[in-house]
A and B are shown apart, each in its own frame.
Chain A
Amino acid sequence: MAEEKKLFKVKIDNISVEVEPGTSILNAARRIGGDIVPPAMCYYSKLQGSGGKCRTCLVKVTKGSEADPRPMPKLVASCRTNVMDGMEVANITSPEVQEARKGVVEFLLLNHPLDCPVCDQAGECHLQDLSYEHGADTTRYEFKRRTFDRIDIGDKIQLHMTRCILCYRCVFTADQMTEKREHGVLGRGEAAEIGTYIQQSLDNNFIGNVIDVCPVGALTDKTFRFKNRVWFLKPVDAHRDCHDPKCCGKTVLWMRGDEVFRVTARKDKYGEVEEWICDTCRFDKKDVKDWTIEGPRKIERQSVISQGHYVGVHKPKDTLVEVLEGRQPKLLLDIHDISEVNRPEIDLSQIDGPAHSDDFNKK
C-alpha cells in the first residue's frame, strides 16, 4: 500500500495551508490566493531555473520550521525558498517586507523609461501593476537613464532593451522551448543586456513565446505593434487544429469586431501561459476563419485589461458641489443639450464592443 505523503503545514500572514514537501513559499501562497501572494517578476513556474533574481517576492520567514523555529536572518526570495513543516511567513503583515519591496520596485524603475503611453505592453504590464501596488509616487533618481537601441530579432519580434528588467525568462524559454538558443544575456552589471551579439533573427517555431513570458514591454509582437491598445480589444478563447505536436493550438484572440489583432497563449491569473503555442498560430493566423471561437476570455488579473466593464463603479466626489457647500452649480451650458454624442441616457457598459457613433444615433 502506498504510504500517504506527509503534508507540510505552513502559515503565511497567519493563514494556514498544507502543501506537499518541495513546494516553494510562493506556490504555497498561491494555493491560498488573494492579497497575500507575493508579486513575482522573474519567477515562472513553467520555466525551470527561473526566479530569485528580481527580489520582488521577498518575504520574512518568522519561524523556520517546527523542528528549528529560529527565524531566517534575512528576507528570502519566496519563489526559490521551499517550505518546511511548521514554517511561518510574513508577507503583507511585515512592514519590513513592504519596505524592502518598495525599494526593489524603485530599483526596477530606476532605469525604466516609463514610456507606457507608447508601449504596447501597457495595460497588461506586470511592472505597471507592481509599481501601482508597491511603488512610490515619485522617483529620487536624478541621473540619465540607461538607453539602448531597439532591435528587430526577426521580422516578428522587437526587442526594446531599455524597458527590460533582466528577468531572464526569455532566455530560459529559448533554452527550454527551442533546439538552439541564439539570444542570451550579454555584458555585466548595469550594462547587462539581452541580445544576440551579432545581430540575427531568432528563427524557431516557438520563439514567439518569449513575447508572452516577458513581464514588461521589452519583447513585443511586431505584427501587433501600435495596432491597438490592449484594453480596446476583446479577448476570446479560440482553438485550431495545429499540426505542430508541441503546440496546444489553444489561444486567446484579441479582437475588435471581426478583426483578429493579435494571438497570444492563454494566461492564468499570475500572467503565466497555460500552454505554449507555436509561431504559426501566433503570427500567421489572423483570420477569424482560422479559428474555432469558444467564447469570451475572463482576464483575472488586476491590470487594466481586466477593468473593461464599468458597472458598479463608485463615482468620484463632486468637488464643485463640495466647494459650493452642497449647492448645485448653476450650469451656463449643459453639454448634452448641444452634443450629438455625449448622451447621458446611454450606458456605455451596455454597448457591445467598442462604442461607435451608430450607438449614439440610435434613438
Chain B
Amino acid sequence: MSCYLVLAHFDSAARLAHAINEVRQESPGAELETFQPFPDHEVEEALYAGKRPSSVSALVLLGGIAGCLSGFLLTAWMSIDYPIRVGAKPLISWPAFVVIAFECTVLVGALSAIAGLCLFGRVPGGWCRPEYRASFSEGAFGLSVRAEQPQCGDLEQKLYRAGAEKVEVVYAR
C-alpha cells in the first residue's frame, strides 16, 4: 500500500504545537511526527499527551542497580579468590569497595542512558528520508502527517490555518 506524508513547515515551536493540537482534535489516531532544531516542552506535551514518559529512565535505573551490584560482587569475589590481608581487616572490607561500586553504578547507568537513546530514539539510523529537510536543523519546524493518498486538501488547509508557512505532500514509500 502506498504511503504519503503531508509535511508542513512552521517558523516557531508554538505554531507547531498549535498545529499538532488542531490535527489531534480532528483525527486523534493520526500518525504524527515532528522535526525540530531543538527540543520544546510544548511540542512534546502536544505530541505525547497521555503517553508514558520516555523509557530511558527505567533503563538507567536498571543499569545503575546492575552496576552497583556487579561492583560489589566483583570486588568481594576477587578479594576472596586472591586474598590480600591488609591491616588485619576482613577480606571483604565493604567500605573500601564502595568507591568501586559507586563508579560501576555511574558507568553502567550512563551506558544504559546511551543504550536507551539508541534503542528508543533509533540512533544511529538513516537520515536520508524523503520527508527530511536541511532547514529542520537550522530553524524550521516540521510536522509530518501520514496519509494514504496524495489528495489531502482538507488537511493542508487545516495546517495552513494553524500557521504553516508551506505544506507539501511527500511520497514516503
A and B: partners?
no
* Residues in chain A within 8 A of chain B (CB atoms): none
